[in-house]
Chains A and B, each alone.
Chain A
Amino acid sequence: MNDLLLSFTDVSVSFKARFRFGAREKLVLKDVNFSVERGQSIGVLGGNGAGKSTLLALAAGILGPNSGTVKNHNAEVALLSLNLGFDAILSGRINATMSGLLHGLKKAEVARVLEEIKEYSGLGESFEQPLYTYSAGMRARLGFAISQFVSPDVLLIDEVLGVGDQEFRDKSSQSLRERIRREDQAVVLVSHNAITLVDLCNRFLFVNEQTVREVSAEELKALQDLASVRRKESAEAVQEG
Chain B
Amino acid sequence: MNRSNYPALLGFRTYTDLVSEASRTYLSFFWWLAEPAFQLAIYYLVFGLLLGIRTENFLAFLLTGIIAWQLFNRLIMNASASITRGVGIYSKVPINKLFFPTVALLSDLIKHLVVLLVLLGFLLLTGYSLGVALVSLPLVVLTEVILAAAIGYWAALLVPFVPDLSIVIATILMGLMFASGIFYDVSNLSPEIQSVFYLNPMAVLIREHRSVLLSNQFPEWQALGIIALVSAVLIFAAARFERRFSQHYIRLVVS
Contacts and interface: CB of A to CB of B under 8 A. Distances in A.
SS class, residues of chain B in contact with chain A: helix
Contacts, number: 78
Contacts of A76: 2
Interface string A2-39: 00000000000001111100010000000000000000
Interface residues of A, number: 32
A173 to B, nearest CB: 21
Given A18-B255, A63-B251, A103 B93 contact: yes
24 contacts: A15-B254, A15-B255, A17-B255, A18-B255, A19-B255, A57-B91, A61-B94, A61-B247, A62-B90, A62-B91, A62-B93, A62-B94, A62-B250, A64-B246, A84-B89, A89-B20, A94-B19, A97-B12, A98-B12, A98-B13, A103-B93, A106-B8, A107-B8, A107-B12
Given A15-B254, A84-B93, A104 B1 contact: yes
Nearest to B95: A102
A42 interface: no
Given A79-B92, A101-B5, A16 B255 contact: yes
Contacts of A83: 88
B89 A102 contact: yes
B124 interface: no
Given A15-B251, A102-B92, 15 more contacts: A16-B251, A17-B255, A23-B255, A57-B250, A61-B94, A62-B250, A63-B247, A84-B92, A84-B93, A85-B88, A85-B89, A89-B20, A90-B20, A101-B9, A102-B9
A16 B255 CA distance: 6
A102 B2 contact: no
A96 to B, nearest CB: 12
Interface string B226-255: 000000000000000000001110111011
Interface residues of B, number: 29
Interface in B1-24: 1-2, 4-5, 8-9, 12-13, 16, 19-20, 23-24
Contact of B250 (A63, A81, A102): A63
A101 B12 contact: yes
Contacts of A23: 255
Which 8 residue pairs across A and B have the least CB separation, nearest first?
A64-B247, A61-B94, A107-B8, A81-B92, A89-B23, A63-B250, A16-B255, A101-B9
Contacts of A19: 252, 255
B93 A98 contact: no
Interface in A130-167: 130
Interface in A90-135: 90, 94, 97-98, 101-104, 106-107, 130
SS class, residues of chain A in contact with chain B: loop
A62 B92 contact: yes
Contacts of B90: 62
Contacts of B92: 60, 62, 79, 81, 84, 102
A104 B91 contact: no
A209 interface: no
Nearest to B24: A89
A18 B251 CA distance: 11
A34 to B, nearest CB: 19
Nearest to A81: B92
A87 interface: yes
Contacts of B9: 101-102
A79 B250 CA distance: 15
A171 to B, nearest CB: 24
B1 A106 contact: no
Given A76-B2, A84-B89, A98 B8 contact: no
A90 B16 contact: yes
A19 B162 CA distance: 10
Contact of B93 (A15, A17, A79): A79
Contacts of B20: 87, 89-90
Contacts of A102: 9, 89, 92-93, 95
A84 B93 CA distance: 9
A78 B8 CA distance: 18
Contacts of A60: 92-94
A76 B4 CA distance: 13
A61 B94 CA distance: 6
Interface in B74-130: 88-95
A19 to B, nearest CB: 5
Contacts of A94: 16, 19
Contacts of A79: 92-93
